[in-house]
Amino acid sequence: MSHREPSVSCPRRGEALRSGVVPDDEAVDLSLPEGLLPVDGRFGCGPAKVRPEQLDALASRGADFLGTSYRRGAVRALLGRVRAGLRELFELPADYQVVLGNGGGTAFWNIATHGLIRNRAQHLSFGEFSGRFTAVDRSTPWLAEPSVIESPPGTHPEPRAEPEVDAYALTQNETSTGVAMPIHRVPGADVDSLVLVDGTSAAGGMLVRPEAFDVYYFAPQKCFGADGGLWIALMSPAAVARAEEIAAGGRYIPEFFSLPAAIDHSARDLTFNTPSVASLFLLSEQIDWLLGLGGLSGAAAKAAKTAALVYGWAEDSPYAAPFVAEPEQRSPVVATIEFAEHIDAAHMVAGLRAHGILDLEPHRSFGRNQIRMGMFPAIETADAEALLSCIDHAVAQLGRPAGRGRRSNA
């Protein structure tokens, strides 16, 4: 294979690295051998791959739901199917509730500061998403200054019991850095305190035990292969009781953020206001598919298999390395791979994009020489394998001759 100079329209290297993004219209001349491309080139971390079977089902059966009242038969039955399916998938105890509303994962941070945190929360802040919930809490005037435990990007901190903390905010998978953490209750914490888990990119692709959380909330555009705009919360009896206690206590809560209103509507297979019915349909199809993989453990095993392949490749590669140094902390659903200095990752990603291999850009808050790839259950392991071959080809063509060894994680 011939080594070629990057085409002239390539942004200057410093530029691409600072922004972490290459404009979509940038032309990078990369040729890949026939038959090497993945069948499906969607590797984004959210919105993430929607399986073609989900879309076919929507096209063939969507008319039963789309354009009909969400307060009547078909859509309510659909919401009931989603709630029952999630209960089965997460093996929820009978007294846990499945609650849904509009606004996506981000909305739930405001819902929590209004209706779940009594006075003071502890946040583990170790990337863009966990950091954003921390910022929402910090700017909430009726709450005490939160306790914030940080750790550098590519690692996660540990929660620790604190006497005045009434809610512990954890993130199972920090999507910006590809760090995952085990979810368990905080040893020594007040029995009355809640564990609130952002499971947005983990839910459906990583194991979690209901006994370990009071609220596990997520949006369906990652493992669940639906569209954004909805939030889903799996709530323990203690969390429901907390929501009722705070709402009864006189704090002003906009009705749109009201958990008691959402709990009440969800129990009747309704949402507070009009939901995206197409998204609910896609979600429902994906829940059935995940159950067919063997439930959460089968789905998690599929993602873990893809992850083992990707991290194994990176460890063996002379020019790539997993960004997360500690193998235990590497996410099974989102991989961040760091490239050696002689390779311009943004340029390579632009070249792959031209071949329909999409959304490998690192998180926009994160201007490092890396790629980030989704490994959700819907992403086939064979497609991940094909992607790694394409990267090897791209590096051979686009990378300047290697002058140095691999870059360390330090």
Ligand X SMILES: *Cc1c(COP(=O)(O)O)cnc(C)c1O
By the criterion CB under 6 A, which residues form the site for ligand X?
A: 46, 104-106, 129, 171, 175, 198, 200-201, 219, 228
- Nearer Cβ to ligand X, position 198 or 361? 198
Report, in Å, the least distance between residue 401 CB and ligand X.
Answer: 37
- Nearer Cβ to ligand X, position 375 or 395? 375
Report, in Å, the least distance between residue 269 CB and ligand X.
Answer: 22
Report, in Å, the least distance between residue 334 CB and ligand X.
Answer: 8
Report, in Å, the least distance between residue 360 CB and ligand X.
Answer: 16
Q: What is the SS3 string spanning 18-70?
A: HHCCCCCCCCCCCCCCCCCCCCCCECCCCCCCCCHHHHHHHHHHHHHCCCCCC
- Nearer Cβ to ligand X, position 7 or 366? 366
Report, in Å, the least distance between residue 65 CB and ligand X.
Answer: 22
Three-state DSSP state, 346: helix
Cβ atoms of 152 and 105 within 8 Å: the answer is no
* Angstrom distance (rounded) from CA 319 to CA 321: 7
- Nearer Cβ to ligand X, position 198 or 338? 198
Cβ atoms of 185 and 197 within 8 Å: the answer is no
Cβ atoms of 12 and 141 within 8 Å: the answer is no
DSSP bridge pairs for 122: 147, 168
Burial of 23 (0-12, 13-18, 19+ CB in 10 A): exposed
- Nearer Cβ to ligand X, position 88 or 256? 256
Report, in Å, the least distance between residue 109 CB and ligand X.
Answer: 8
- Nearer Cβ to ligand X, position 11 or 105? 105
Nearest to 231 by CA among 241, 239, 219: 219
SS3 of the chain: helix, strand, coil, percent, to 5: 40, 15, 50
